[in-house]
């Protein structure tokens, strides 16, 4: 019978000692979250799987170097690895295109109620349907909390491009929400 390892620090120690059960436990603990994050960035099942495989390989390889800083630090570290892998895959497959055209963008729907009434899965699906450039910047800034400077450094674009992409992403997302609301699907 498999032992449930609840202590994150102990889990890390045993993973470092190449304990297969501990490694599987760590994988099971983070797989669902990582899959959803990968889907948010890559919006493709197979690419998400590839990103997770590469990320966990890196995690198990570099876990000895990981500095444990309290509960949640391991999850944050693993998520950062996954996001980097996802962006690397996007760059590798030349899916990241940033349009620098600056338009006066404003959110069409100013009502917060419509957005709040939406299901999480619907918002999630809408984010997945955004173009790769919009989706990436939106995820990095809104969900992960990266600043435009960090995003610019990570994606090797200018800060203004990051800002523009974020505005476009918001606008596009709001348009989709309005459309769905108009068709009565939400």
Partner 1 sequence: MEPSEFDQIVRGKLQEEHQLHHREIDASKPFVWAAIQANKTLVVPWYYLAAAAILFLVCSTFLFFNLQEQNRSEIDFLAAKVERLKNKTNAVEIIARKNQQLDLLCSEVEALEHSLTQVNVNPNPTIISKQIVYQTDTVFITQTEYITQYLPAIKEEKIEEPQVELDISADNYTTSDLIYPDFNPSTRTTPKKENTSVKVKIDTLSSN
Among 25, 87, 133, 141, binds partner 1 (CB under 8 A): 141
Q: Which residues in 33-55 are b (16+ Cβ under 10 Å) and which e?
A: ebbebbbbbbbbeebbebbbebb
Backbone angles phi, psi at 179, to 5 degrees: -65, -45
The pair of three-digit structure tokens given for residue 152, joined into one six-digit string: 């610019």
Judged by CB under 8 A, the stretch of 3-11, 78-86, 93-101, 139-147 that binds partner 1 is 139-147
- Residues in 66-85 at the binding interface with partner 1, rule: CB under 8 A: none
Helix H segments across 44-158?
A: 45-62, 73-92, 112-117, 120-128, 132-138, 148-155
CA 69 and chain centroid, separation = 22
Between 10 and 49, how does the x/- string for binding to partner 1 read (CB under 8 A)? Answer: --------------x--xx--xx--xx--xx----x---x
Among 75, 79, 118, 175, binds partner 1 (CB under 8 A): 118
> Does 88 interact with partner 1 (rule: CB under 8 A)?
no
> Does 104 interact with partner 1 (rule: CB under 8 A)?
no
Please check whether residue 8 is in contact with residue 68, taking contact to mean a CB–CB distance below 8 angstroms: yes
Residues that bind partner 1 (CB under 8 A): 24, 27-28, 31-32, 35-36, 39-40, 45, 49, 52-54, 56-57, 60-61, 107, 109-112, 115-116, 118-121, 123-125, 127, 141-143, 167, 170, 173-174
């Amino acid at each position: 019978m498999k032992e449930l390892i609840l202590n994150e620090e102990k889990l890390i120690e045993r993973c470092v000692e190449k304990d297969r059960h501990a490694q599987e436990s760590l994988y099971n603990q983070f797989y669902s979250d990582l899959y959803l994050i990968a889907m948010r960035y890559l919006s493709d099942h197979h690419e998400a799987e590839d990103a997770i495989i590469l990320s966990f390989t890196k995690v198990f390889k570099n876990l000895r170097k990981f500095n444990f800083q309290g509960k949640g630090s391991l999850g944050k570290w693993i998520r950062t690895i996954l996001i980097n892998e996802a962006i690397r895959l996007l760059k590798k497959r030349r899916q990241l295109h940033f349009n620098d055209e600056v338009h006066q963008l404003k959110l069409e729907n100013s009502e917060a109620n419509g957005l709040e009434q939406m299901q999480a899965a619907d918002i999630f699906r809408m984010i997945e349907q955004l173009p790769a450039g919009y989706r990436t910047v939106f995820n990095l800034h809104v969900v992960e909390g990266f600043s435009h400077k960090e995003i610019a450094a990570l994606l090797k674009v200018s800060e203004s491009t990051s800002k523009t992409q974020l505005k476009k992403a918001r606008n596009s997302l709001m348009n989709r929400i309005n459309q769905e609301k108009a068709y009565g699907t939400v």
